[in-house]
Structure 1
Amino acid sequence: MQSKNQVLEVYLFINPFEQASYQDEKNVLAFAENQTKKNKIHFMPFLNFNTLSQYMSAHHIPEKDLDKRNALYSQMYDACLAYAAATMQGKKKARNFLLALQKGLFEEQKIYSQDLVVEKAREAKLDVPMFLEDKASDYARTVFLADQKVATEMHISSTTSCVIYNEALFDFGVLIEESVTAELLTRLCADKAMITEHLASKEKPALRVLN
């Protein structure tokens, strides 16, 4: 996962429909902006039966309501494809699109729709005709499936989860399964003793090593 030239790499596994993911994305970007070392940020939508069930449970949506489950999965999957399509025009534009889409959902209280997707694609200054063509392509689905494979390889089981690699301090990945704050990332990337202490603490199970 890690390049020799890459000092710090962050993988954030998100659900586009989760407000916690929206906040964690902003926290990760705030952290990255304040770093003097090179860093590489990956936002990776993660969607499967378990993450959908977790979302439905957290939002008190009856899990046995198949119509609601299927409709919700369809919308989330569509949002994942939209993000995959946006990445074809650059990761920065894709992140801007994702944040704009989530702002529309959480702050502007808009309903997810294709009109909203197009509106936010324009806000992110995407080439909209190209974006829509890419969103409907097999390649967008391939990108989505590749993200799911990475999540499986990193033992991700829920969103939001974050994996960091910092070759300057440790030769393993650290998986964070709690709120991802800029402060926490800064501490983890600056203090090896803090990582060792955190990993050894039975009271802090939300941090673990990926070999």
Structure 2
Amino acid sequence: MITSTHSSKGNQYKQITEIYLFINPIGSACYQAENGLLDFIESRENKIHFHFIPVHNFKTFSDYMKAKKIPKNDLDLRNKHFFQIYEACLAYAAASMQGKKKGRLFLMGLQQAITIDEKPFSQKLVLEIAIKSNLDIEMFSEDKQSEFAKTAFEADQKVAREMHVLSNPSCVVFNNQSSNHGFLIEEDINFETLQALCSENKDENYSAFSSKNEKKNHLLIL
């Protein structure tokens, strides 16, 4: 699903593309979407600003539970998975404090270990991926327990709410030379979709994508 969202961003003479990808830090579909976005960025000549933002709330967690077929009545298991995702969000925030590139490397390393290599989430695995990502381990361990990491997590949730993100992966694409709208993508987040939205005929593509969506929300993003 793709919907349009208003932005206060004004047009500039220089083309600026900005992409926000909202993810579950241990989700397989999110890992695929991240790879698709990175492949797209690698193919572009113009610079693209992008952000990986973890989203963890009741709605996204319920979707995760359904996808994993985790019984609703098993409260211990629900709590275990809920806090695993939360801990992964804090770990990603801590890794990102040592640089966005290292943060992404840690995030995707963790996702690959869990979703591809099928390793169970644990603090031991988190530490293993942190070492492979060349993080300062002492700093990382302190930061993921810090109030700053929790504040960073809450700030990410605020961004998601402002952009009316209800699921992950979700993607919001802005291009200042086409319109003052951002487009929220809630499915088919891949190289082809991103290329179509950012092509020379992007205005036509926006209209084509929007026409497929019966619910066209126009959302103010501050």
The bucket for the TM-score relative to the shorter chain is: over 0.9
Whether 2:204 is the aligned partner of 1:193: answer yes
Whether 2:46 is the aligned partner of 1:37: answer yes
Report how many residues are paired: 209
CA contact (8 A) 2:171 2:189 kept: yes
CA distance in 2, matches of 1:208, 1:183: 23
1:35 Cα shift?
A: 1.2
CA contact (8 A) 1:9 1:165 kept: yes
The SS at the match of 2:95 is: helix
**Residue in 1 that maps onto 2:58:** 49
CA contact (8 A) 1:174 1:208 kept: no
Whether 2:103 is the aligned partner of 1:94: answer yes
TM-score (norm 2): 0.89
TM-score (norm 1): 0.93
CA distance in 2, matches of 1:6, 1:95: 25
1:58 Cα shift?
A: 1.5
CA contact (8 A) 1:6 1:39 kept: no
Q: Deviations over 1:81-115 (max 9, x none)?
A: 00000110111110010011111112221111111
Q: Deviations over 1:118-152 (max 9, x none)?
A: 11111111111111111010000000000000000
The SS at the match of 1:12 is: strand
Whether 2:152 is the aligned partner of 1:143: answer yes
CA distance in 2, matches of 1:168, 1:148: 28
Which 4+ runs in 1 deviate beyond 3 A? 1-6, 207-211
Pick from 98, 101, 123: which aligns with 2:132? 123
Pick from 170, 173, 176: which aligns with 1:167? 176
Structure 1 residues 83 and 6: alpha-carbon distance in aligned structure 2, compared to 1, 3 A threshold: farther
CA distance in 1, matches of 2:213, 2:110: 38
Structure 1 residues 135 and 202: alpha-carbon distance in aligned structure 2, compared to 1, 3 A threshold: closer
The SS at the match of 2:39 is: helix
CA contact (8 A) 1:173 1:209 kept: no
1:208 Cα shift?
A: 6.2
CA contact (8 A) 1:174 1:209 kept: no
**Residue in 2 that maps onto 1:153:** 162
Q: Deviations over 1:43-71 (max 9, x none)?
A: 01100111111111111111222111111
The SS at the match of 1:77 is: helix
The SS at the match of 2:183 is: strand
Structure 2 stretches of 5 or more lacking a match?
Answer: 1-6
1:22 Cα shift?
A: 0.5
Structure 1 stretches of 5 or more lacking a match?
Answer: none
Pick from 17, 24, 40: which aligns with 2:33? 24
**Residue in 1 that maps onto 2:3:** none
CA contact (8 A) 2:26 2:110 kept: no
1:188 Cα shift?
A: 0.3
Q: CA RMSD in A?
A: 1.8
